[in-house]
């Protein structure tokens, strides 16, 4: 019995410690964030440490998959100013309606609380004053290439994927040239 308990405890430790996000920290890459194009805003999604580390639900913006809510991680997407719905689901679904203003950043915190079978997500729109202290130690998990400690110039910013141009949406699941341009080396 004691031997089984030790194996169970070891397995739990391995699962829980392997769930935190890895990557450069917010404080290391913040200076690399691409400049926002005119008419665009930024949605920054983050999940501080907390319960339910093994639960990492997909995050969708107007139905489009934009990332995963990893513990101790954050990511961002740039989209045309307007109204959006952010959705996260496990056994229940949580939504947040966002008003994305030109040049503004909306900070959305993902939390996981106890559920019947799986942790239940909750979304909270936070002020910059609340979000910034929490973000400092979180790891970047996004798809826009950022390098710790290197500042980007304005020309490099233009090459980063920022989503479809205003009034021109790409069909869900399709990759646009804007998406691929961020993968090319800058000159």
User: What rounded mean pLDDT belongs to the chain?
Assistant: 76
The predicted structure's pLDDT at residue 60: 96
Q: Could you tell me the pTM of the whole model?
A: 0.68
> Per-residue confidence at 157, pLDDT binned at 50, 70, 90?
very low
Bridge pairing between strands 58-61 and 105-113: unpaired
The predicted structure's pLDDT at residue 160: 44
Residue 29 in tokens: 């890459």
Residue 124 in tokens: 């909270």
Cα–Cα distance for residue pair 19/54, rounded to 1 Å = 6
Cα–Cα distance for residue pair 81/139, rounded to 1 Å = 26
Q: What is the pLDDT of residues 37-75, one digit of tens each?
A: 999 999 999 999 866 677 889 999 999 999 999 999 999
For 171-186, what is the mean pLDDT? 52
Where exactly are the structural domains of the chain?
2-163
Instruction: Tell me: pLDDT of 9 over 50.
Output: no
Cα–Cα distance for residue pair 65/60, rounded to 1 Å = 4
């Amino acid at each position: 019995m004691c031997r089984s308990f030790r194996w169970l405890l070891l397995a739990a430790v391995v699962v829980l410690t392997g769930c935190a996000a890895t990557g450069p920290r917010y404080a290391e890459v913040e200076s690399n964030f691409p400049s926002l194009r005119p008419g665009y805003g930024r949605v920054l999604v983050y999940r501080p440490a907390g319960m339910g580390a093994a639960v990492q639900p997909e995050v969708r913006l107007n139905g489009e998959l934009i990332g995963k809510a990893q513990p101790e991680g954050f990511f961002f997407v740039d989209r045309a100013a307007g109204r959006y719905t952010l959705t996260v689901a496990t056994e229940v679904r949580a939504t947040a309606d966002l008003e994305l203003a030109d040049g503004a950043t909306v900070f959305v915190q993902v939390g996981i609380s106890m559920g019947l079978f799986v942790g239940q997500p909750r979304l909270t729109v936070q002020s910059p004053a609340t979000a910034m202290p929490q973000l400092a130690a979180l790891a970047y998990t996004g798809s826009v290439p950022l390098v710790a400690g290197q500042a980007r110039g304005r020309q490099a910013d233009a090459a980063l994927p920022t989503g479809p141009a205003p009034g021109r949406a790409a069909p869900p699941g399709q990759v646009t040239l804007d998406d691929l341009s961020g993968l090319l080396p800058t000159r």
